[in-house]
């Protein structure tokens, strides 16, 4: 099962160019790879995001694999990461807690899957909300990009750019990260741990070393996992 979210048309900041095309490309790829159900959602507000995650949690509980892909804006506050729905205004740092969705809840939506849980965050773009955000609490820390995570329980969280870095949209209609990810997803016989290492190398080449994808978490070693099994 897979849930694909692409947020582009934000109410309070300029629209993002690539999330709709990136989300559609990932959804089409996973469908072609034989996923039983791929749900594509575009431009979700906060209420719709919660509803999509709740529905997906029910799907994941019946699945061997559960994959969530999110493209759009994200934010880090006090070392916690949040995805930003399209209706968020974020006019103060206090509003982050009430207008966004914690990454922990996105990860939790995959919890019921029996074999493999993956969350892919293409949300490390330069954050335009920060320029107009009032800092209510001087002790709050808002970082560049997203902060590192330590997921538990056999789940991978893949960032388009590692903690503290910014991801690029690219000029090809898809981001460098999505171009590299789709290329590797379609290759037969690339085990998942190796797949993300190859994505990392490809994005580093495409961006002249300015963007490095990163994967957090670990998987048990009792079974090799493939999006496309070896041909023989």
Structural domain range at position 131: 2-217
The answer to whether position 84 is within a domain reads: yes
The answer to whether position 17 is within a domain reads: yes
> Tens of pLDDT along 21-50?
999 999 999 999 999 999 999 999 999 999
The reported pTM is 0.93
Write down the pLDDT at residue 203.
Answer: 95
The answer to whether position 85 is within a domain reads: yes
Instruction: Kindly give, in sequence order, each residue whose CB lies less than 8 Å from that of residue 13, ignoring residues fewer than 6 positions away.
Output: 73, 128, 129
**CA contacts within 13 A on the Cβ side of 166:** 9
* C-alpha pair distances (Å), 143 with each of 15, 147, 148, 214: 22, 7, 11, 17
Q: Which helix (H) or strand (E) holds 67?
A: strand 65-71
Hey, what are 123's tokens? 């949300």
Greater confidence, 172 or 177? Answer: 177
- What is the dihedral angle through the alpha carbons of 26, 29, 31, 32, rounded to the nearest 10 degrees? 180
Give the CATH number, domain containing residue 77.
3.40.50.1460
Mean pLDDT of 150-179: 83
- Report the number of distinct structural domains present in the chain: 1
Mean pLDDT of 204-220: 89
Mean pLDDT of 6-29: 95
């Amino acid at each position: 099962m897979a849930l694909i979210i692409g947020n582009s048309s934000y109410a309070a900041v300029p629209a993002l160019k690539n999330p709709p095309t990136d989300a559609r490309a990932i959804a089409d790829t996973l469908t072609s790879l034989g996923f039983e159900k791929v749900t594509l959602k575009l431009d979700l507000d906060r209420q719709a995001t919660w509803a999509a995650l709740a529905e997906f949690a029910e799907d994941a509980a019946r699945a061997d694999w559960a994959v969530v892909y999110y493209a759009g804006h994200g934010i880090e506050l006090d070392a916690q990461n949040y995805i930003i729905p399209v209706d968020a205004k974020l006019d103060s740092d206090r509003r982050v807690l009430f207008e966004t969705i914690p990454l922990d809840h996105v990860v939790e939506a995959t919890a019921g899957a029996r074999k493999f849980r993956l969350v892919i965050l293409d949300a490390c773009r330069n954050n335009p909300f920060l320029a107009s955000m009032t800092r209510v609490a001087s002790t709050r820390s808002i970082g560049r990009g997203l902060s590192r995570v330590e997921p538990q329980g056999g789940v991978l969280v893949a960032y388009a750019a590692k903690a503290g870095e910014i991801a690029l949209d690219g000029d090809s209609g898809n981001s460098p990260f999505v171009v590299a990810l789709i290329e590797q997803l379609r290759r037969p016989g690339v085990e998942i741990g190796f797949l993300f290492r190859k994505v990392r190398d490809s994005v580093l080449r495409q961006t002249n070393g300015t963007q490095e994808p990163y994967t957090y978490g670990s998987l048990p070693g009792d079974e090799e996992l493939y999006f496309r099994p070896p041909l023989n």
